[in-house]
Amino acid sequence: MPKPLFQGVAASTVTPFAAGGSVDLARIKPHVDWIIADGADALSPLGSSGEFAALAEDQRKAVLEAVLEANAGRLPVVAGTAHCTTAGAVALARHAEAAGADAMLVVPPYYMAPTPAQVMVHYRRIAEAVSIPTVLYHNIPLTAVDLKTDHLATLFEEGAIGGVKMSNPEPDRICELLQATGGRLKVYAGIDTVAFEGLCHGAHGWISGIPSMVPGYARTVYAAIAERSDLADARARWARLAPLMRMQFAAYHSRGEGPHWFSVMKAALNLIGPPVGDPCPPILPLEEPFRRQLAGLLADLGYTVHRAA
């Protein structure tokens, strides 16, 4: 039987690139070690933050194998195995299971915008091919697919999925899904802007940018809400965290100018952890003066900024 899905905060590990654009596998272990030392409960490589869409399939397999080797069984690993075809997703799922991943994170097929019925068949076929559970990555803006609560509950009852990463700016989507499945389906806050409300509704964890940049601080918010039910402490911690969250998603939510969420993430990791390089173009490194602002926000959360902003 597969292990139960994790609870807590999952850091979406990034993919380091060398100056010429190749994947820098040597930087993965220091990155993973830092995340674990800072307090994450799980690792989620090759999601959006892992820039999976910029990688060839052999690169994706190499990155996952490097993360699993670096982790050495310390934390659960939820491997991103999404593909725009069902055959490709099944192949990546089989590789993840064989390599030792505990679960998979699978965004719906993107670009072609299949119907909900077609997407449900996609997840059923993945589940038929492997024994490790799937966390469905619900991300409407980047897939044009919106599986409703009844679709998700049906997939869960069939055993096709074991969890949902809900990257939806409406907190009630988390609440409704938890209520519809009686809390049996593992539901994770998948975007930082609704993490506080989602955890208060009973979400089982948090997988997004903040736990990937500052997993230790994110863990304190999770603990205050989910483990101690200390709302006053949680509010105080969230108030300190909110400026970083708002900076990260400024351009994403406005669909306009400002810092790109992933430029912020890689810049933050470079400032407080082992270097992970720059994003893969067309995403560019974080501009000034955002880097100086980011350095101050990280210091306010108690992190040592050990590289010049």
2 alpha carbon, distance to own chain's centre: 21
Q: Is residue 94 one of the residues assigned to a domain?
A: yes
Structural domain total, the chain: 1
Q: Is residue 302 one of the residues assigned to a domain?
A: no
CB atoms near residue 293 (< 10 Å): 17
Q: Which pLDDT value is given to residue 1?
A: 57
Which pTM value belongs to this model?
Answer: 0.96
The active-site residue out of 3, 29, 110, 137 is: 137
Domain range for 146: 8-229
Active-site annotation holds for 165: yes
The active-site residue out of 165, 186, 188, 252 is: 165
Collapsing DSSP to helix, strand or coil, 269 comes out as helix
Q: Is residue 195 one of the residues assigned to a domain?
A: yes
Q: Is residue 58 one of the residues assigned to a domain?
A: yes
Active-site annotation holds for 137: yes
Which mean pLDDT values do the consecutive 10-residue runs of the chain (309 residues) have?
88 94 96 98 97 97 98 98 98 98 97 96 98 97 96 98 96 98 97 97 97 98 98 98 95 83 97 96 94 97 84
Burial code (b: 16+ CB inside 10 Å, e: under 16) for 23-42 equals bbbebbbebbbbbbebbbbb
Strand 103-106 and strand 205-208: pairing?
unpaired
The one-letter amino acid at 32 = V
Q: Is residue 293 one of the residues assigned to a domain?
A: no
Q: Is residue 253 one of the residues assigned to a domain?
A: no
80 and 52 in contact (C-beta within 8 Å)? Answer: yes
Q: Which CATH number goes with the domain that contains 112?
A: 3.20.20.70
Q: Is residue 118 one of the residues assigned to a domain?
A: yes
Q: Is residue 275 one of the residues assigned to a domain?
A: no
